[in-house]
Amino acid sequence: MISRKMMTSLNEQINRELYSSYLYLAMAAYCQAEGMSGMAKWLVAQAEEERGHAMKMYHYLQEQGARVVLKAIAEPPAEFGSPRQVFEETLKHERKITAWIHELMEQAMREKDFATQGLLQWFVNEQVEEESIAADIVAKFKLVGSDARGLYWLDRELGQRGG
């Protein structure tokens, strides 16, 4: 059985994951307005993935007989400065999510909550991938700089991501 404290912590993480989805949708809208439809497509897919993360925790809490409590989602920014800054913020945000997942894992370990540790191990592994992909995109932005052809290529490459 899951503790009340762990239930509260996972509910907070659900909110963070839903905010992540909302943030990536805001970033997608920004990129679309900047003429970067491939980047926008990538970010919409990322938003859907983050919503899926929230739902994974949502269903886990229900399976544990715990209460899901949804709270207001904070308003994300609408302006990001440039597509490159969007992805620099993406990397920074993913690193923050990783830190929160690690805190949850530490809590589950302290509580000897082995079931929640199993759930969270999936998220630990997922965050390695999330950070790696975001860091790779940022590195590509650094390579192309402000070269229009490079930005065009990067936009096309990111637009190939499946949903």
Contact call for residues 39 and 85 (beta carbons, < 8 A)? no
Alpha-carbon span 84 to 103, nearest angstrom:
29
Domain boundaries, the chain: 4-158
On the 0-12 / 13-18 / 19+ scale of CB atoms within 10 A, 139 is exposed
The pLDDT of residue 157 is above 70 = yes
pTM of the predicted protein model: 0.95
What number is the average pLDDT over the span 48-56? 98
Average pLDDT over residues 81-92: 97
Give me the mean pLDDT over the 94-105 stretch.
98
Q: Can you give the pLDDT at residue 116?
A: 98
Tell me what percent of the chain is helix, strand and coil, each rounded to the nearest 5: 80, 0, 20
CATH superfamily of this structure's domain 4-158? Ferritin, core subunit, four-helix bundle (1.20.1260.10)
Residue 30 tokens read as 């920004």
Percentage of residues of the chain with pLDDT beyond 70: 99
Q: What percent of the chain has pLDDT over 90?
A: 97
Q: What integer is the mean pLDDT of 93-106?
A: 98
Output the average pLDDT for the chain: 97
